[in-house]
Chain A
Amino acid sequence: MSSEPSSHRFTWWPLLVIGLFLVVAPHLMDRYPRYVLTEVIMWGLFALGFDIIFGKAGLLNFGMSSFFALGAYGFVYGVQYVYPSVWLGLASGMMVAFVFSLVSGWIVTRFSSHYFVVFTIVISMILFLLAMNLRVVTGADEGINIRLPDLGILGWHFSLRSPFTKYYLILGVAAVAFLGVRRFFDSPLGRAVVAVRENEERARMIGYNTAYLRLVAYTLSGTVAGLAGTLYPILNSSTNAELFFWILSGKAVLWTVVGGAGTLWGAFLGAALLVTAEDVFSSWLVNFYPILVGILLIAIIQLAPKGILGTLFAALAGRRAAHEAGGGS
């Protein structure tokens, strides 16, 4: 696990630089790279959901795809059958993921280590099989297409047929969620979640209900992943039952671990790197590109065992500590 930087060293400029870049970027890009960037932000938010439960709470949830898919279907059903509003879709998708993660979390957070992992896989496989067989409800592998309503903001209407509207909506949702999650892990409750990861027995002995804290982390993680899922139909005007498949859970694990588990930023960096790499490699070598992606993964994990940002932050913290020790004496 990465060491935890304390909050008072927080610096604003990286946030500002990255924020500015993301606001300007779509105007400097062609249609396709713009689509990939939009997709990367969505996948990054999904991986952020995984980083909450894995990087911060130390629990390997291998069933993240369920939350994402439920978020996507929650959006589609909300918009099609309740009221044609994007905001309602975001809320209904998140709500479905929230309720599901609360209920499933209530069961699985009682288990630890391997039992926990196996339970999360089993639950997500059950959901996948259900979704593939309930063709009437989910459309199975063909999915459901959706006509997106206009995005209304304070009386203004923006068409979601425009890739720019899609981009800024997805960026906005991801940014708000990211800042919220950062804020949470700076709060006493969020720090307590990290304490449970670090030493559960001690955390319990200094007054923390650790089972409750695990459920909090699990539910927050599932809700954020579900929110990412609501962005899928916004981006693609459709959803399908294959989103429930475990391979999506596996991708969340890869992106987070490559970017740096527990860093929150790492989820986005990992998604950006691997989604782009897969895209570029597959256009070069249609049949053999997974080999190149595999080589890239091995190289990253060899060079940066804590993930790219995890290793970078640890090195910076080490240098700072050495500097302080030298300067203090």
Chain B
Amino acid sequence: MKSEFILRTESLSVSFGGLTALNRVDFEMREGEIQAVIGPNGAGKTTLFNVLSGNLRPTEGRVVFKGEDITGLPPYEVCRRGLSKTFQKTSIFPDLTVFENVRLGAHTGHGTGNPILRSASSDRAVVEKVEELLLMGGLQDQKDQPAGNLSHGDQRLLEILIGISTRPELLLLDEPSAGLSAKETRYITQWIKELSQTTIRNIVIVEHDMDVVTELADSVCVLNYGEVLCRGTVGEVKCNPQVQDVYLGRPV
């Protein structure tokens, strides 16, 4: 049955001193699904992401990715094993060009040959992949601009492009719509949906905007005070009275 889950955690706990951020969380992610993690502020969503990506070592428990224990591996090892994360607060290389932002990640996923004796821009496989990704994000006309010059919306797109440039099998999206207008949010939601159909099948998404969750998620996991409150399809979760109490509010 193990192979059914691409990612799962076994009674994962994280405490900061006396504060328990995650308490015995069993998170499960099926092959080929988009799963949303929701919950009120301080529920432990970002902590969970940080443990999954290797930024934070859990106090207890294990993280199993593709049947392999990755608990406590540093982020670059987790990334090389095929798990990539984007940041809630945009994290790009602002002084480097848009092209190079994506190229740096693509080198991890597609790079071949000696890393010192050749020019970074001479690896055809990498360059083609970068061009393809930039086209996908509609950023090809701005590829020679410093990434810091892009609009906030385009920086959010670039953030995700960097995330998928490493050729991950699983992508963790931390609030991709953060700071976007309603119109931009609709655009990036559709864009992620297409992405999930063409490029990356397995996505875990932390999101506050329930419209985005409804549009994208196959299943939802609700966290509250560091524990899994419930899980199910979007419909099931929305009707759950407990979830309504702590997060969504009761429909009038």
- Identify which of residues 177-214 in chain A touch chain B, using a CB-to-CB cut-off of 8 Å: 183-184, 186-192, 194-195, 198-199, 201-210
In the bound assembly, the distance between CA atoms of A190 and B115 in angstroms comes to 9
Chain A residues with Cβ below 8 Å from B115 are: 187-189, 192
Question: Is the CB–CB distance between A184 and B108 below 8 Å?
Answer: no
Question: Is the CB–CB distance between B119 and A195 below 8 Å?
Answer: no
Q: Which of A2, A188, A199 contacts B107 (CB 8 A)?
A: A188
Q: Which of A3, A189, A202, A206 contacts B95 (CB 8 A)?
A: A3
| Nearest B residue to A202, CB-CB | B91
B126 to chain A, nearest CB (A): 8
In the bound assembly, the distance between CA atoms of A191 and B75 in angstroms comes to 19
Question: Is the CB–CB distance between A191 and B104 below 8 Å?
Answer: yes
Chain A residues with Cβ below 8 Å from B32 are: none
Chain B residues with Cβ below 8 Å from A210 are: 76
B118 within 8 A of A: yes
Number of chain A residues whose Cβ lies closer than 8 Å to a Cβ of chain B: 33
Stretch at the interface among B22-30, B61-69, B140-148, B207-215: B140-148
| Nearest A residue to B103, CB-CB | A191
| Nearest A residue to B104, CB-CB | A195
| Nearest B residue to A207, CB-CB | B108
Question: Is the CB–CB distance between A187 and B99 below 8 Å?
Answer: no
Question: Is the CB–CB distance between B91 and A206 below 8 Å?
Answer: no
- Identify which of residues 35-56 in chain B touch chain A, using a CB-to-CB cut-off of 8 Å: 53, 55
Chain B residues with Cβ below 8 Å from A184 are: 116
Chain B residues with Cβ below 8 Å from A188 are: 107, 111, 115-116, 118, 120, 123
Chain A residues with Cβ below 8 Å from B103 are: 191
Question: Is the CB–CB distance between B93 and A199 below 8 Å?
Answer: yes
Question: Is the CB–CB distance between B84 and A206 below 8 Å?
Answer: yes
B58 within 8 A of A: no
B127 to chain A, nearest CB (A): 10
Render B108-122 as a binary contact track against A, CB cut-off 8 A, 1 for contact. Answer: 110100011111110
B204 within 8 A of A: no
B74 within 8 A of A: yes
B226 within 8 A of A: no
Say yes or no: A187-B75 contact (C-beta < 8 A), given A195-B93, A198-B95, A206-B104.
Answer: no
Chain A residues with Cβ below 8 Å from B100 are: 4, 6, 191
Question: Is the CB–CB distance between B74 and A206 below 8 Å?
Answer: no
Question: Is the CB–CB distance between B92 and A202 below 8 Å?
Answer: yes
| Nearest B residue to A328, CB-CB | B141
B165 within 8 A of A: yes
In the bound assembly, the distance between CA atoms of A294 and B87 in angstroms comes to 45
Chain A residues near B (Cβ < 8 Å) = 1-4, 6-8, 183-184, 186-192, 194-195, 198-199, 201-210, 321, 324, 328
Lowest 5 CB-CB distances: which A-B pairs, in order? Answer: A207-B108, A198-B93, A206-B105, A207-B79, A189-B115
- A-B contacts, 15 listed (Cβ < 8 Å): A7-B119, A187-B119, A188-B115, A189-B116, A195-B104, A198-B93, A199-B93, A204-B75, A205-B55, A205-B79, A206-B76, A206-B108, A206-B163, A321-B144, A324-B144
